[in-house]
Amino acid sequence: MTVTETDSELPVIELVHPMPGFPDLHKFALVQLDDAGRLSSLTSLEQPDLRFLVAPPAPFFPDYEPEVDDEVASELGIVEVEDVLLLVVLNAGRSLAETTANLAAPVLVNTVTRRAAQVILDRPGLPVAAPLIA
């Protein structure tokens, strides 16, 4: 579901709930930033200078398997787990070693409907700033 910047049509993601702090922004383009598909951005279509760096967690946190409740799955129209793209929001540091990921609030994207939400997980102890490199 990610694309390269040379593709003419970027996948438009609609957030069913806006990201915290950005109540009026609902439409984002998912843009792949590297050839390996490990880094993408969610770029606002309503405020193009705003983007969130995101990445699939598996390459960095292989044991990370968040659980979401049925209400979230229903809101996003998720029927099959295979239709979910799981992303974590990154806080970019000066280097990869200083970059962190928010594991407490991943972004779930339904790859069929392209509806998405940042979900605040009900699991105490999940870090909001987990180092990408141990």
What's the mean pLDDT when you consider all of the chain?
88
- Kindly tell me if the per-residue pLDDT of 113 is higher than 70: yes
User: Which percentage of the chain shows pLDDT scores above 90?
Assistant: 65
Average pLDDT over residues 75-79: 92
pTM for this entry: 0.87
Residue 107 has pLDDT above 70, yes or no: yes
Domain-wise residue ranges, the chain: 12-131
Long-range contacts of 79-86 (CB under 8 A, 24+ apart): 79/112, 83/110, 83/111, 83/112, 84/108, 84/109, 84/110, 84/111, 85/1, 85/56, 85/109, 85/111, 86/56, 86/57
CATH entry, 12-131, from 3.40.640.10, 2.30.290.10, 3.30.450.70, 2.102.10.10: 2.30.290.10
Q: What mean pLDDT do residues 64-93 have?
A: 92
In this predicted model, what pLDDT tens digit does every residue of 16-74 receive, in sequence order?
A: 988 988 999 999 999 998 888 789 999 999 999 999 999 999 999 999 999 888 999 99
